[in-house]
Copies of this chain bind each other. A is one copy, B any other.
Amino acid sequence: MNKIIPNISVDCVVFGFDSSGLKVLLRNRKLECPETGQLLINDHTITGFHVYEGEDLDSAAQRTLFNITGLTGIYLEQFYAFGSVERVNSEKEKCWRSYNNLGISDHVFSVGYLSLVDSTKIKPDQEHADVSWMPVDNLPELGFDHKEIIAKALERLRLKVRLEPIGFELLPEKFTLREMQELYECILGTSFDRRNFRKKIGQMKYVIPLNEKQKGVAHKPAQKYIFSRDVYERTKIEKLDFSI
């Protein structure tokens, strides 16, 4: 049995994307009073867990991510460490700990990881009924300091997406340029001229058109594209040129 380190955890902000925008994978947390049955806590948290003894941060984050998504090999990046004294010490969290204390410290330092997944690969409803995608621009009530953690993750995502082609991690393997444009628009909160956007993408040799079209749409079907990391690595130039 793995022993947890009582004062160190990882928290993983899992981003997904679909036609209605950018999402975060959250778990519903409920606590009801054993005597009265009253709902003491009913909020949401990102997924996280204490680091095990003898485990390093990245492994702990991968483990945590696997537990909620059932997937391995997904994009995962450490982005910030959170260590404020109050982060697990609000009244609500004291209450939570009083019912769930498993030898956990009252000052837990948590290392935040940011993960990007193709949301079509996850069917959260099946495996964990308490897990769901929530829109980043309309989050429910969150536990701990998870609002702050998500905000910081989003900030990092916005930065990173302009510097590296990580947007593709959020798209299905085959995607249309419209999907790609919508993704970038909703991450960056801007809108692009369609022709200029396409011109720009056209220059990216690593975004490769397929001989395949959308099906079952009530309009002219769009061509599908794939991203080639391989071509990207070979042709990338050291420049902040992903700003679109």
Residues of A within 8 A of B (CB): 5, 7-8, 51, 53-58, 78, 80-85, 107, 109, 111, 159, 162-163, 239-240, 243
Q: How far is the CB of A238 from chain B (nearest CB, A)?
A: 10
Pair B56/A85 contact, Cβ less than 8 Å: yes
Chain B residues with Cβ below 8 Å from A240 are 162, 240, 243
A7 to B9, CA, bound (A): 12
Chain B residues with Cβ below 8 Å from A56 are 83-85
A61 to B172, CA, bound (A): 42
Across the A-B interface, give the 10 residue pairs with the lowest CB-CB distance, nearest first.
A57-B83, A81-B81, A81-B111, A56-B84, A240-B240, A56-B83, A56-B85, A240-B243, A8-B109, A54-B85
Pair B107/A81 contact, Cβ less than 8 Å: no
Pair B243/A85 contact, Cβ less than 8 Å: no
Give the nearest-CB partner of A53 in chain B.
B107
Q: How far is the CB of A67 from chain B (nearest CB, A)?
A: 19
Pair A109/B109 contact, Cβ less than 8 Å: yes
Q: How far is the CB of A167 from chain B (nearest CB, A)?
A: 16
Q: How far is the CB of A79 from chain B (nearest CB, A)?
A: 9
